[in-house]
Amino acid sequence: MVFMVFREGKFRSLVMNIGSRVRVKESVIVYHHPEHRNQPFDMKGQEGDVAKIVKEWEGRPVSANLPVLVQFNKKFKAHLKESELELI
């Protein structure tokens, strides 16, 4: 079953999949942003695409703490929780 919501004149899925466009909705501090290397950078409001959802490793199921890999630009990816993201 797929849940849809009508937002901004379009029907949008409520399920996060690979390729879904997402925005960081909570304050998340990272230290590996390429333009702010080794400095705290708040990711709140940044938008990107879901590149991978970690569910297994080497064929075995895992329960990753930060299961959603989001590609923000060509040089920057970050692992985040689903609760820190919103679909756009």
- Residue range 16-24: average pLDDT? 90
Question: Which of the two residues, 10 and 61, has the higher pLDDT score?
Answer: 61
Average pLDDT, the chain: 86
pLDDT at 1: 38
Neighbours of 72 (CB within 10 A): 18
Mean pLDDT of 8-27: 80
pLDDT at position 76 over 90 = yes
pLDDT at 30: 93
Sorted by where each starts, the structural domains of the chain and their CATH numbers stand as 17-87 (2.30.30.50)
pLDDT at 74 over 80: yes
Q: How confident is the model at residue 78 (pLDDT cuts 50, 70, 90)?
A: very high
Phi, psi for 28 (deg, rounded to 5): -130, 120
